[in-house]
Amino acid sequence: MTKRQYRPTTRRAVLGGIGAASVTGIIGTASAKPGKGQGFPPRGRTEYSDPQSLGNGEIKAFHTEHPNGKWEYLGVEMTAEAATIDETEFDKPELVAIDFPGNTPFEWLGLNWMPGGHGPPDVYGVPHFDIHFYLNSQEEIAEIPWVNYPPGSDDPYDVDLADDQYPPGYFRTEAVVNGMGEHLFDANSHEWAEPGVASGEDFTETFVWGHWDGDLNFFEPMVTTEFFENLDQTVVNPISMPERMPEAGNYPTEYQMGHHQNRNAYTVVLKAFESFEASEQ
Q: How many CB atoms lie within 10 A of CB 200?
A: 10
Check pLDDT > 90 for residue 170: yes
Q: Compute CA distances 82 → 128, 197, 199, 227, 265, whole Å.
A: 11, 32, 29, 13, 9
Domain ranges of the chain: 11-276
The answer to whether the peptide bond before residue 221 is cis (omega within 30 degrees of 0) is no
pLDDT at residue number 39: 83
pLDDT at residue number 245: 98
pLDDT tens per residue, range 190-230: 999 999 999 999 999 999 999 998 999 999 999 999 999 99
pLDDT at residue number 196: 93
Q: Where would I find the H helices in the chain?
A: 11-17, 80-83, 121-124, 138-142, 225-230
